[in-house]
Structure 1
Amino acid sequence: MSDPTGSDSARDVWITGIGLISSLGEGLDAHWQALAIDEPRISAGDTERFAPFPVLPMVPIELDKQIPRKADQRQMEPWQRLGTYAAGLALADAGLAGDLERLAHMDMIVAAGGGERDVVVDGQILAGLDGAAEPDAFLNERLANDLRPTLFLAQLSNLLAGNISIVHKVTGSSRTFMGEELAGISAVEIAARRIRAGQGDQFLVGAAYNAERKDMLLSLALGNTLWKGAVNAVWERANAGGGMVTGSIGVFLVLESRAHAEARGKTAYAKLGPVLSGRSRREPGQAAAVAKGQIDAMRPALGDKPIGVLSGANGIASATLEERALLESLVAEGTVGPIRATQSRIGNSLEAAFPAQIALAALALSRKGFYRPADPTGLELEASEVPTQILATSWGFWRGEGMALLEAID
């Protein structure tokens, strides 16, 4: 859990590019407008297509802007298109799009889930099993004949990284992590550690999640993790039985060493400080104990005024109530100032949840502002002053607790 950052400021980790798309819009201006300027409101989301479970769908995007070739678009699944699109936005934002020399040496770490199932074929096979004289033989025959060979290729998790390499020419080393929210935490953590250790100067890090998937919603529903009914704040959900609302997101970050960014004349959104990850079995109190240990490890890096918090609480009762109690104790001692639960507005995006937290924290620091509260329970209050440090947290819907400290650049 320790995160030795060293003392060489040239190896500081800077966030120099952000690509973000979600139900709130495309790009940083759209997210700042929705979260920091407009009257706070919780989106109703899509409550019809996947009833009784609400979903926060992706806004319409013009894929041609970042994925010019139709052939590339066709061979990608929706979540891969979202990720490849967001990666293009991040590279353009960092001033690296088309810079083949730098892109050839850019490393990439992606957090990804599995591919989508062919729901139509699955349904036909399940319907036919009931009336089959020999169910085992029927199943083998249909699986062999009905499923496209290309379906299995499209389901490979590392194909998001492959598509980004093909479309955007990012051809350094590549890693793909799987494992829901913890995969996203690890992706950011490992990239930051490698930059600080001198094992790379620039990384493209991120993830994508398509919430409009019946197969994924079925899996989450079977685990009793989803909220039913109208979308509301995560703190309200936790007090009423709990459940999460999923949201489609594509998010990528360009992380660079300070020296590398300054050498090419690039400023940064924010400095990425310690990034810590952990996990527990989620017995009562265990997740809070992991997070408390992470907070204590970060205290030497904290300034002399309360920090802002972007909470990754997802609305599932046990974990959300534990995180709330921990945050309230940190507010009482003066460590924490204003708190915002971002998943009330953009939903839970599993692998993409933590990179999205980092993106929104960096955005707030760069705009020298903070987001407006959207919580009727009283935990989220107006910010009395603009935080210069923001703690981004993420507690997985099943396992995995992580956080990162971001700091404004003078």
Structure 2
Amino acid sequence: MSPTRVVVTGLGATSPLGGDVPSTWQAMLAGQSGVRLLTEDWAAEMPVRIAARVAVEPSEVLDRVKARRMDRSTQFAMVAAQEAWADAGLTDTDVDPERLAVAVASGIGGVTTLLSNYDALKEKGPRRVSPLAVPMLMPNAPAANISLAFGARAAVHAPTSACASSNEAIAMALDLIRLGRADVVIAGGAEAAIHPLPMSAFAQMMALSKNDGDPTTVSRPWDTGRDGFVLGEGGATLILESEEHARARGARVYATLLGAGITNDAHDIAQPDPEGRGGTRAIRMALREGDVDPTTVVHVNAHATSTPQGDVAEGLMLHNVLGSQASEAVVTSTKSMTGHLLGGAGALEAVATVLALHHRVSPPTINLDDKDPAVDLDIPTSARDLPAGDVVGLNNSFGFGGANVAVAFGSV
């Protein structure tokens, strides 16, 4: 028996490029950057003073009383989930609550809540620690709050695999539907780690770019001048449904979710396997699970964070799996514009992959002035049309701990 077909019926996002999906997508196509100079007082003493903050504060979208009970990462996830739910045309009566699941991830969790409460403890004593601190800082807070908001009574998951977390949430959602445990899943991720401690930690391990030029030009995947990623924040979600459920309610379908692959490098806690063996297996698994002919892969939203080693390794992975098609597919790194959303990156890039297939156009990679000769990929620096017909797009995510996740979407 063939597996249950899973389709994408709703999209939501809040990003450094826009407060919703339409504004984010238009900015991507236009090659705009969301990276800015940080203006907070604490930033003046930092070794890195740039980041990609969200374009629209969640306080402008969410009920302010409810928002105060959420960490910033949860706020981003909630904004994205509300948009995706509305975009899918869902109502409270469209889904049996016991058939509605959530898989929403965060790589770090409520770090700003944790650190602000630790500051309160040190400066004012234990009685000034918030009684809501734990339910705000726990890594499953975004998923839990979404389940409360939409009455999801099936599984509620929060996978944590560093920068691969939200792509893993999408893979988990695929399994939930195919295993018959849910009809609809709100899937995605969010991150809010623009704070002096995580930024100092990333800078100390030489992961962040220390380029002090124009902030909009610093995130430069595959360019010979790349020297690290730019930290971003935000969140994104997708509404995934069984095709049968979507058809029964007459839903619009953006794309199909064909397959997913999850592997681990077991190589190093931070550095990727330079030969890309784990990522290669993840991409191959995603295509095999979706019964995808590699020649139909016309688009890749790459993980490519703008680090010297990782960007080259991903090119090797694509050639290992796709062969000559790796040089034919249109490859992009939207992190060149959004910065790196860590645990929220895969979800935002999944939204971009789905829209690229839906509209038949790939966003560009900006700041690619001198492509690394070790990278043999077609990486346009302006928006590029994609071919018609039944085609496939890949979305890759890789994270600390050796996590590798690839998901394959098909056009409709």
2:260 and 2:282 in contact (8 A); partners too: no
Amino acid paired to 2:357: L
Matches within 5 A, 1:133-144: 144=126
Provide the rounded CA distance (Å) in 1 between the counterparts of 2:176 and 2:279: 23
Structure 1 residues 120 and 266: alpha-carbon distance in aligned structure 2, compared to 1, 3 A threshold: closer
1:185 and 1:277 in contact (8 A); partners too: no
Match of 2:374 in 1: none
Matches within 5 A, 1:125-164: 144-164=126-146
Match of 2:70 in 1: 76
SS of the counterpart of 1:334?
Answer: helix
Q: Deviations over 1:222-279 (max 9, x none)?
A: 4332112334343256x44631111111111111111110011112111111111112
2:334 and 2:363 in contact (8 A); partners too: no
Match of 1:289 in 2: 277
Provide the rounded CA distance (Å) in 2 between the counterparts of 1:384 and 1:150: 48
Match of 1:175 in 2: 157
Choose which of 43, 51, 56 in structure 1 pairs with 2:52: 56
Provide the rounded CA distance (Å) in 1 between the counterparts of 2:195 and 2:132: 19
1:310 and 1:340 in contact (8 A); partners too: yes
Provide the rounded CA distance (Å) in 2 between the counterparts of 1:384 and 1:358: 18
Does 1:114 find its partner at 2:73?
Answer: no
Identical aligned pairs, as a percentage? Answer: 21
Provide the rounded CA distance (Å) in 1 between the counterparts of 2:250 and 2:155: 24
Match of 1:210 in 2: 192
Provide the rounded CA distance (Å) in 2 between the counterparts of 1:256 and 1:212: 33
Match of 1:318 in 2: 309
Provide the rounded CA distance (Å) in 2 between the counterparts of 1:296 and 1:117: 39
Provide the rounded CA distance (Å) in 1 between the counterparts of 2:117 and 2:103: 33
Provide the rounded CA distance (Å) in 2 between the counterparts of 1:369 and 1:314: 21
Q: Deviations over 1:333-386 (max 9, x none)?
A: 124411101111111111111111211111111112222342223451364643
Choose which of 189, 213, 218 in structure 2 pairs with 1:232: 218
Provide the rounded CA distance (Å) in 1 between the counterparts of 2:322 and 2:55: 35
Does 1:246 find its partner at 2:217?
Answer: no
Structure 1 residues 119 and 45: alpha-carbon distance in aligned structure 2, compared to 1, 3 A threshold: same
Match of 2:85 in 1: 91
Structure 1 residues 332 and 154: alpha-carbon distance in aligned structure 2, compared to 1, 3 A threshold: closer
Structure 1 residues 97 and 54: alpha-carbon distance in aligned structure 2, compared to 1, 3 A threshold: farther
Match of 1:301 in 2: 292
Structure 1 residues 99 and 287: alpha-carbon distance in aligned structure 2, compared to 1, 3 A threshold: farther
Instruction: Select between 391-400 and 322-331 the one with higher mean Cα deviation.
Output: 322-331
Structure 1 residues 232 and 101: alpha-carbon distance in aligned structure 2, compared to 1, 3 A threshold: same
* 1:123 Cα deviation from its structure 2 partner: 5.7
Amino acid paired to 2:333: A
Provide the rounded CA distance (Å) in 2 between the counterparts of 1:347 and 1:79: 16
1:244 and 1:348 in contact (8 A); partners too: yes
Choose which of 246, 266, 269 in structure 2 pairs with 1:261: 246
SS of the counterpart of 1:198?
Answer: coil
Amino acid paired to 2:14: I
2:284 and 2:321 in contact (8 A); partners too: no
* 1:188 Cα deviation from its structure 2 partner: 1.2
Provide the rounded CA distance (Å) in 1 between the counterparts of 2:332 and 2:252: 26
Match of 1:7 in 2: 2
Amino acid paired to 2:394: L
Choose which of 96, 99, 106 in structure 2 pairs with 1:105: 99
Instruction: Select between 157-166 and 326-335 the one with higher mean Cα deviation.
Output: 326-335
Provide the rounded CA distance (Å) in 1 between the counterparts of 2:233 and 2:252: 29
Q: Deviations over 1:108-130 (max 9, x none)?
A: 1121233224656656887x9xx
1:80 and 1:160 in contact (8 A); partners too: yes
SS of the counterpart of 2:221?
Answer: helix
- Structure 2: where are the runs of 5+ without partners? 372-376
Choose which of 250, 256, 259 in structure 2 pairs with 1:271: 256
TM-score by structure 2 length?
0.83
Does 1:343 find its partner at 2:338?
Answer: no
1:316 and 1:397 in contact (8 A); partners too: no
2:162 and 2:342 in contact (8 A); partners too: yes
Provide the rounded CA distance (Å) in 1 between the counterparts of 2:394 and 2:114: 39
Match of 1:358 in 2: 350
Provide the rounded CA distance (Å) in 2 between the counterparts of 1:397 and 1:119: 22
1:274 and 1:405 in contact (8 A); partners too: yes
Structure 1 residues 363 and 343: alpha-carbon distance in aligned structure 2, compared to 1, 3 A threshold: same
SS of the counterpart of 1:360?
Answer: helix
Match of 1:34 in 2: 27
Provide the rounded CA distance (Å) in 2 between the counterparts of 1:63 and 1:181: 26
- Structure 1: where are the runs of 5+ without partners? 1-5, 129-141
Provide the rounded CA distance (Å) in 2 between the counterparts of 1:114 and 1:30: 26
Between Structure 1 and Structure 2, whose CA radius of gyration is higher?
1
How many equivalent residue pairs? 383
